[in-house]
Structure formats: C-alpha cells, structure tokens
Amino acid sequence: MKKRFLLAAFSLLGAASVSFAQVSFGPKLGVGLSKFVDVKSPSDQPSYDYSYIVVPQIGVVLNAPFGNHFAVRPELLYTQRGTVSKTSATIFGNTINYEGRMRVSYLELPINLVGSVQAGPGNVELFAGPSFGYVLGGKSHEEVTGFINDTRDGNVIGKKQPSDYGTSTDDDTYINPLNVSLNFGAGYKFDNGLLVQLGFNLGLSNLNPHSADSDTEDKRNNTVVKSNAFTLGVAYLFGGKK
C-alpha cells in the first residue's frame, strides 16, 4: 500500500515538474492604433467623427501550455488608448468646429486562450480572451474654432464625475476607470521563443464615467462610447520547451 502511495506521489511530482518546465515568460513590446466609437448617442447631441491615434504597449507575457496544441497566456501590460474626435455645429448661421484629442494610460491584464499548430520553424497561433484595463491617468486637448475660438488642456481621471462638474471651470475629463474588452487575433511563435502577434481589442465597457449626481447617472446609459484598437506585438519567451 505504501509503495502504491509513493509511486502515485512521485508520478504527480513528475507531471507537475514537466508542466512547470514547459512554462515560459518574457518581455513584450507593441504598438497599436486606437480610437473611440459612438455606440449609442441621444438624437439631440452632436455626432462625432473619430479617428485613430498611435499608442504604445510594453509589459510581460507568461505562456502556460496544456496538451500539445493549447496554452493559457496572461499578460501584464502598460498600454494606452485614445482618439481624435471632430464635430461641427451651426448656431445662428455661424459655424463652430470642435476637435478633441485624448490619450489614456492603462494597466491592462489580458488573459488569452491560445491554439496552435506546427508550421515550419514554429507554430501558427490563434488566440482570444478577455482583457481588464485600469486607468492610470491621461491627457486631453480641445480646440474650438470658427465663430468662437478657445483651447483647453486637461487631465483624464479615472473616477466618478463630481456632481458640480457641469458648473465648474475644471478642465479635467472623467472616464470610467475600468475598461473590459475582448482580445482576439493570430500570431506565430518560433521554436527559439520569438513571438509575433497581430490582434484586435474590442471594447465592451462604456467609457463614460459614473456620476456622483443621481440625475446624470440615470442618463449615463443614453450615451455609450467604447474603445477599439488594432495591435501588433513582439515578445521573447524564455524557458519552457522550445
């Protein structure tokens, strides 16, 4: 009985050591194209034309395979999201043009499920999974030209919008601190550990902030803005089975 127990224990330890030996990790660098999208807006509000901005991405990746063709791949990244937004309006026959630029920094945790097949000196991969981003801060720039001319710069803050925001002279912009999104894409992992990925990040969260004012909070879901981004990343994974 003792021999069977010891044999089972050594078998478990052996399997665990093999599994651990296959885990690899390393740095990741990337670049992306990010913009915001109006998903829902009131009919009496101006519509915005959004365009992409270039954003950086840097962090670490952990690759934990199971079986011969699958892996779980969490990442911890510093990344940015943002956009350029434009609109115009005519008031009493006078045209007013608006342009805003926003760049927001996030600490982001993607958790992707990866499927792969051998092809050449490595593996072709497909991946998908959720991503959770937390706002670290950001900057905004706004310009109004035409009948009225004005320029404002402010900070982007990830927290509830204060109840006196509409009447204050505060130039800061408030944003939902948590951005939940969906990652999916494809890549190629070389046997030497080099990994190249092309992906798309589909925003699921409303970027508009919650509000300390109950009336504003009740109207929050009438305007829904989300963030999308194309990403290109390169990582190098150390350790594990090549």
Query: How do residues 74-94 score in pLDDT, each as one tens digit?
Result: 999 999 999 999 988 877 778
The runs of H, that is alpha helices, within 82-199 are none
- AA identity, residue 84: V
Cα 99 to Cα 111: distance, rounded to the nearest angstrom: 35
Of residues 40 and 168, more confidence is placed in 40
Structure tokens of 70? 């699958």
Which pLDDT does position 88 carry in this prediction? 85
Interval 147-175 mean pLDDT: 83
Structure tokens of 35? 């913009």
Cα 73 to Cα 117: distance, rounded to the nearest angstrom: 16
Helix (H, G, I), strand (E, B) or coil at 29: strand
**Averaged pLDDT of the chain:** 87
Highest mean pLDDT among 38-42, 177-181, 221-225: 177-181
For residue 158, what are the CA distances in angstroms to 109, 111, 211? Answer: 17, 22, 12
Task: Using CB atoms within 10 Å of the CB of residue 232, give its burial: 0 to 12 exposed, 13 to 18 middle, 19+ buried.
Answer: middle
Check if the beta carbon of residue 232 is closer than 8 Å to that of residue 185.
no
The structure's pTM equals 0.85
Query: Any long-range contacts for 184-187 (C-beta under 8 Å, 24+ apart)?
Result: 184/126, 184/127, 184/128, 184/129, 185/126, 185/127, 185/128, 185/231, 186/124, 186/125, 186/126, 186/127, 187/124, 187/125, 187/127
- In this predicted model, what pLDDT tens digit does every residue of 168-179 receive, in sequence order? 557 889 999 999
